Amino acid sequence: MNREEGELSPQEIMELEEWGRRVRREMADWDFIKRLPRRLREALTYLVETGDLRQASMRYGINICMLDELRIKAKIPLTL
């Protein structure tokens, strides 16, 4: 099957996801994250690993706006 111009292969998608995970891990303020209550800490850790703010919010029952504010304080960048 021919790929459309601009379409990524599964391998390229996996490489981009790993790049995003690596950037989020390196830039996150782990000292800040470790001082948070367990649920918030786990939500931010999930966010670092997946990059999915909405899913982290739903999975841990945290308002998405509040979680995004914590993301900013924890210096976790938004990536792919």
Q: What digits encode the pLDDT tens for the residues 24-55?
A: 999 999 999 999 999 999 999 999 999 999 99
Q: Which amino acid is at 48?
A: V
Q: What digits encode the pLDDT tens for the residues 69-79?
A: 999 999 999 98
Q: Which has the closest alpha carbon to 48: 15, 20, 16, 12?
A: 20
d(CA 39, CA 22): 22
Q: Is the pLDDT of residue 2 over 90?
A: no
| pLDDT value, residue 48 | 98
Q: Is the pLDDT of residue 3 over 90?
A: no
Q: How many CB atoms lie within 10 A of CB 5?
A: 5
| pLDDT value, residue 5 | 73
d(CA 53, CA 51): 6
